[in-house]
Structure 1
Amino acid sequence: MTTEATAGQSTPGSYVEPGEEYTRDTNYIEDRITRDGRDGWPVEPGRYRLVAARACPWANRTAIVRRLLGLENVISLGMPGPTHDARSWTFDLDQDGLDPVLGIHWLQDAYFRRFADYPRGITVPAIVEVASGKVVTNNFPQITLDFETEWTEHHRDGAPDLYPEHLRAEIDEVNDLVFREVNNGVYRAGFAGSQESYEKAYTRLFDRLDWLEERLATQRYLVGDTITEADIRLFTTLARFDAVYHGHFKCNRNKLSEMPVLWAYPRDLNQTPGFGDTTDFVQIKQHYYIVHSDINPTGIVPAGPDASGWLTAHGRESLGGRPFGDGTPPGPPPESELVPEGHGA
């Protein structure tokens, strides 16, 4: 079953039939951009544009990795607004509602230029070839891994190794657990079609959050002593937890801010360059509360919670760890990519 909650999909509403369990559609365009161009898409600076809405957790991941690796001048960034119509994500934040590079109103135009009868959801993140205007891939788990492993010749000086080879098996294992029970678990609870499926998802979610609370009590990062792909994938869900998932998706055993470790851990990341400066709490709330009209038919966006708590001291430095390993923090984001004042923490 395909639903709105498919990664960054544009069709409003969940469309989970009563009594059914939400199942994510994970069939994406699997083409990859690689050094050898095996799928017809070689690594080439300036050739591609990443389309990533700030509101979407799956797209937020790609923006963070792009920032940390310093790929801003290599892969341009298009940012749709936080809401969309029945057709697709729209570039309503840009002048005249047009993406300034691709010249399109709707992301679906890039999909249809390549697949005239594309049958699935129009999702973000997506990578589009600028010259042809055709979508290349929307395979969000692979996009970040390829940024980390296929684009290394174009990483900034001091870029961290977010997917170190000696830790990949453990990173993959943790990512799989976190995806099934946390990243996707909040959606399984929020879009459940029955009390039974909701309670099952709810239990699995909080069991895994308790596991993470214990794991992160004695280590600063999820795998190893530096920031990796695993931390990025968990962060974007935790950043949305209190603002959206706790109430909107009924993940309400407790707030994240009531779990000492899982509140300190994402605050640590949020205060690390590349994380907080790509996170827009206003757009996050607008997306979920306006687009999910079946869950929130009034479209009212909550005023809270106060995001300033994300900037309070976290104390995680006491656990040691080196955020960027042997690398260095990224510089400030380009002016055109700054989170609007009042939208961040």
Structure 2
Amino acid sequence: MAENTATDQDNGSGFSTRGAYVTGGTEYTRDTNYIETRITRDGRDGYPVEAGRYRLIAARACPWANRTIIVRRLLGLEDAISLGTPGPTHDARSWTFDLDPDGRDPVLGIERLQEAFFRRTPGYSRGITVPAVVDIPSGAVVTNNFPQITEDFSTEWKDFHREGAPDLLPAEHMEEMRAVNKRVFTEINNGVYRCGFAGSQEAYDAAYDRLWAAMDWLEDRLSRQRYLIGDTITEADVRLFTTLVRFDAVYHGHFKCNRNKLTEMPNLWGYARDLFQTPGFGDTVDFEQIKAHYYIVHEDINPTGIVPKGPDLSGWLTEHHREQLGGRPFGNGTPPGPVRPGEEVAPGHGAR
């Protein structure tokens, strides 16, 4: 599931970030119920593909939202789909646009993402999650189904791809990709949350063992090939990258995924740096927002709200030598150009 506002636990005030991230005595179970409406070429759900009509709301702090920012940039959809970026923290009601002038999204004119969900379904009772795609004319959320959003960017929005856009969903590898994506999601993407939000020692121990079994599987797999699937970057790499780039900064300590750091796994660390240094990946990553989100919002895990100064991020820019394994990052395509003005990561918030 995408990053989610928690159930308020502060005497019904409606504004506390304190929430039910951890349920005592149980393992963490992710809510995977989303608004499944799709934006398609034929508009069968009432929302046809149309340049300029939709706005992607994606907080840089959130790994699930970070996926959509990366895919949008790799495919060159900036002209077709605008981007709104909530700040890294939120209250119990929802993500807020506190980084924008006057605290409102400049296109939608709303203070909280909740408002767009309520315009779609008054009193919407499920999680107000990012990423979400909003229909600009109505101001209503179309979908927050994050895996479908990126797949549709590759398929339904193909007429608006940039020249040289990579094929992130190569047909010849789809069967293998589905299997790899499933394991990466259950054991890695969601596995770190299963550790961090475990409600008992037993649940944590089991989650920890599952996570590291999968990390060891990836370390071995990536010793022989540059990318997860085939010899080019695919959506499978995007899905794994957004967890790996947060691992040492957040998951190792905050979520107790501390058998070792990513930097201590040569193949995974080299793979993560290779992607980070590829246009479209590292230039979307805001480490300061990432740390602020996890360490401030998860008050039941980090009640002091203290955000750590580390780790040292300079290693992300060191040589990785992964090109020795072959592969062509963009296949027959080309890298994306410079980040669009106004969408850059804030100075000092990236690797340095």
Give the % identical residues: 74
- 5 Å-filtered alignment, 1:161-200, equals 161-200=167-206
Residues 1:275 and 2:281 are matched in the alignment:
yes
How far apart are the structure 2 equivalents of 1:77 and 1:15? 28
Q: Give the counterpart of 2:5 among 10, 20, 34.
A: 10
The residue type paired with residue 65 of structure 1 is V
Q: Which residue of 1 aligns with 2:227?
A: 221
1:16 CA displacement: 3.0
The residue type paired with residue 344 of structure 2 is L
Q: Give the counterpart of 2:216 among 186, 210, 235.
A: 210
1:17 CA displacement: 2.4
Q: TM-score, normalised by structure 1?
A: 0.98
Question: Is 1:49–1:75's contact at 8 Å kept on the other side of the alignment?
Answer: yes
- 5 Å-filtered alignment, 1:298-309, equals 298-309=304-315
Where 2:141 maps in the other structure, the secondary structure is strand
Q: Which residue of 2 aligns with 1:72?
A: 78
Deviations 1:268-296 (A, max 9, x none): 00000000010000100000000000000
Hey, which bits of structure 1, 4+ residues long, moved more than 6 A? none
1:42 CA displacement: 0.6
Question: Is 1:83–1:89's contact at 8 Å kept on the other side of the alignment?
Answer: yes
Question: Is 2:21–2:298's contact at 8 Å kept on the other side of the alignment?
Answer: no
Question: Is 1:14–1:292's contact at 8 Å kept on the other side of the alignment?
Answer: no
How far apart are the structure 1 equivalents of 2:22 and 2:111? 29
1:165 CA displacement: 1.1
1:335 CA displacement: 1.3
RMSD of equivalent CA atoms: 0.7
Residues 1:133 and 2:139 are matched in the alignment:
yes
Question: Is 1:84–1:291's contact at 8 Å kept on the other side of the alignment?
Answer: yes
Where 1:309 maps in the other structure, the secondary structure is helix
Q: Give the counterpart of 1:312 among 299, 318, 335.
A: 318
How far apart are the structure 2 equivalents of 1:40 and 1:228? 29
Q: TM-score, normalised by structure 2?
A: 0.96
1:15 CA displacement: 3.9
How far apart are the structure 2 equivalents of 1:259 and 1:110? 42
The residue type paired with residue 3 of structure 2 is G
Question: Is 2:194–2:207's contact at 8 Å kept on the other side of the alignment?
Answer: yes
The residue type paired with residue 203 of structure 2 is S
Where 2:250 maps in the other structure, the secondary structure is helix
How far apart are the structure 1 equivalents of 2:127 and 2:200? 24
The residue type paired with residue 73 of structure 1 is D
Q: Which residue of 2 aligns with 1:261?
A: 267
Where 1:248 maps in the other structure, the secondary structure is coil
How far apart are the structure 1 equivalents of 2:312 and 2:340? 26
Q: Which residue of 1 aligns with 2:54?
A: 48
Question: Is 2:94–2:128's contact at 8 Å kept on the other side of the alignment?
Answer: yes
Q: Which residue of 1 aligns with 2:14?
A: none
How far apart are the structure 2 equivalents of 1:245 and 1:90? 24
